[in-house]
């Protein structure tokens, strides 16, 4: 009788599993269909914007000298690609951004860990972190130039002044928001502060730390471009300043267009990394 009952239960469960698989497949198809429509509308919005921009320029609705127009922007970018003058500037800025991105994330996370580890130090540093976060980072630029010289170090320092503080605040905030019951369980089994951090705080805060990577992409770009405004003779920030100086606003807009493309690619790479890191959590 037991074997017969087990056989009946297996037969009963098979339709349920098949139904679940069918529902899951329909859900995946619906998500793919929705994604296609999202991409289509995104492309349509971009195309509409470029078309209206071109039309407004051709019909003299806007000042062409200041705002240029898409075909002229793309023609200039193509020219700069062919003569080899664009990619070196892109490479310099991307290199500086990657360095500032990784250093800012690592140092900010490390500072958050130190502050969490010592409540006394947290109380001591709290007002200074608030002041540094509210201070306009551009104002620190001249100090970095004097201290590190007009080069890569001052640009990285400008970037770190933006990324480190924000990372520290976000990660430390995620540490404090961890459910205290997790901490109590670890301590109940004799865990010290190190065990509490490794077993409760860090795993619970991992999604927030990974999400900080996406925030730091934009912050690193801001820091690098600001730094290049001040000191650089190469890079996309330098091209923007040079375009303003020679009153070539097509060059300025073309450079902004390149920044938007490269920054989007970097953001998407980090977003994909986030999905892989959090997929099995």
Convert the pLDDT of each residue in 122-179 to its tens digit: 888 888 888 888 887 777 878 888 888 888 888 899 899 888 988 998 888 888 888 7
The tokens describing 212, both together, are: 């900080």
What's the whole-number mean pLDDT along residues 41-66? 90
Is it the case that residue 18 has pLDDT exceeding 90? no
What's the whole-number mean pLDDT along residues 113-126? 88
The pTM of the full predicted model, rounded to 2 decimals, is 0.81
Length of the chain, in residues: 281
Give the per-residue pLDDT at 47.
Answer: 94
Pick the closest to residue 229 from 65, 74, 96 (CA basis).
96
Give the per-residue pLDDT at 186.
Answer: 80
HSE, side-chain direction, 13 A CA sphere, residue 266: 24
Instruction: Identify the band that residue 204 occupies on the pLDDT scale cut at 50, 70 and 90.
Output: confident
Sign of CA dihedral 48, 52, 53, 58: positive
Structure-model confidence comparison of residues 87 and 197, the more confident one: 87
Task: Give per-residue pLDDT as tens, 96-111.
Answer: 999 999 999 999 999 9
Which of 5-9, 135-139, 197-201 has the highest mean predicted lDDT (pLDDT)? Answer: 197-201
> How far apart are alpha carbons 69 and 57 in whole angstroms?
6
User: What long-range pairs does 273-276 form, CB within 8 A, spacing at least 24?
Assistant: 273/210, 273/213, 274/210, 274/211, 274/213, 274/214
What's the whole-number mean pLDDT along residues 232-245? 89
């Amino acid at each position: 009788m037991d074997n017969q009952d087990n056989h009946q239960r297996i037969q009963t469960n098979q339709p349920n599993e098949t139904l679940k698989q069918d529902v899951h497949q329909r859900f995946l198809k619906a998500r793919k269909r929705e994604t296609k429509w999202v991409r289509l509308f995104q492309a349509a919005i971009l195309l509409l914007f470029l078309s209206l921009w071109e039309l407004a320029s051709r019909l003299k609705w806007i000042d062409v000298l200041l705002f240029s127009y898409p075909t002229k922007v793309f023609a200039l970018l193509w020219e700069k690609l062919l003569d080899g003058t664009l990619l070196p500037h892109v490479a310099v800025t991307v290199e500086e951004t990657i360095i500032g991105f990784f250093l800012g994330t690592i140092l900010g996370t490390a500072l958050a860990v130190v502050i969490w580890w010592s409540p006394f130090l947290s109380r001591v540093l709290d007002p200074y972190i608030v002041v540094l976060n509210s201070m306009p980072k551009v104002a620190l630029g001249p100090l970095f130039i004097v201290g590190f010289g007009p080069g890569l170090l001052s640009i990285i320092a400008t970037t770190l002044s933006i990324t480190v503080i924000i990372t520290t605040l976000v990660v430390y905030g995620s540490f404090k928001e961890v459910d205290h019951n997790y901490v109590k369980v670890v301590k109940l089994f004799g865990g010290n502060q190190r065990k509490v951090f490794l077993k409760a705080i860090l795993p619970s805060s991992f999604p927030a730390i990974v999400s900080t990577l996406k925030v730091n992409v934009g912050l690193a770009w801001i820091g690098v471009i600001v730094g290049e405004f001040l000191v650089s003779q190469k890079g996309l920030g330098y091209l923007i300043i040079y375009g303003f100086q020679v009153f070539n606003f097509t060059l300025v807009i073309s450079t902004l267009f390149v920044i938007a493309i490269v920054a989007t690619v970097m953001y998407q790479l980090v977003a994909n990394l986030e999905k892989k890191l959090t997929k099995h959590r």
